[in-house]
Amino acid sequence: MPSIEEKIIINAPLAKVFAFVTNPENWTEYVTSLTEVSDVSSPALEPGTTFSWEYRMLGVKLHGTGSVTENVHNAIFALRMEGATRIKEHYSFSAVDGATKLIARIEYKMPGQVLEKIASSALAEKLNRREVENVLAKIKIFCEAQ
């Protein structure tokens, strides 16, 4: 699967950034194309916790289920989503001079109905890279503003 990795420095404490990113109620706030998260099986979000999701990409609605694959307090949070598309998200957090360094690595498989709307895998990668950049920018805005 293709993957994208981006990083950002957020001027907020690590614990605050980790709590924001790992709260399912916030996921639709910072993941632009994620329109719904429901049926979260455990509020603790330990590995194996499941959820349902809805995503909109280029006007195409995608649905599926997901699970938490890793949750190490204030260090790592990872998800796997399956359905019309497959996505693996891995976030790593570290404290840097009172701020937080957040690294996001996303692996994805583009669904057929989305690929029909775009002409090349290069465009798909550009769209997905922009999505990851937007996710990190929104996390930064929310965490620095609160």
Q: What is the residue-averaged pLDDT of the chain?
A: 89
Residue 118 domain boundaries: 3-145
Q: In the chain, which residue ranges form alpha helices assigned H by DSSP?
A: 14-21, 24-30, 112-115, 121-145
The SS3 call for residue 8 is strand
For 26, 52, 76, 78, 133, the CA distances from 71, given in Å and listed in that order, are: 16, 18, 6, 7, 22
Is the predicted pLDDT of residue 118 greater than 60, yes or no? no
The predicted-structure confidence for 11-35, as pLDDT tens digits, reads as follows 999 999 999 999 999 999 999 889 9
How confident is the model at residue 121, as a pLDDT?
65
Backbone torsions φ then ψ of 92, nearest 5 degrees:
-120, 140
Could you give the CA distance from residue 133 to residue 146 in angstroms, rounded to a whole number? Answer: 20
CATH of the domain at 22: 3.30.530.20
How confident is the model at residue 14, as a pLDDT?
98
pLDDT confidence tier of residue 120, bands split at 50, 70 and 90: low
Mean pLDDT of 71-84: 94
For residue 55, how far is the Cα from the chain centroid? 11
Q: How many domains does the chain have?
A: 1
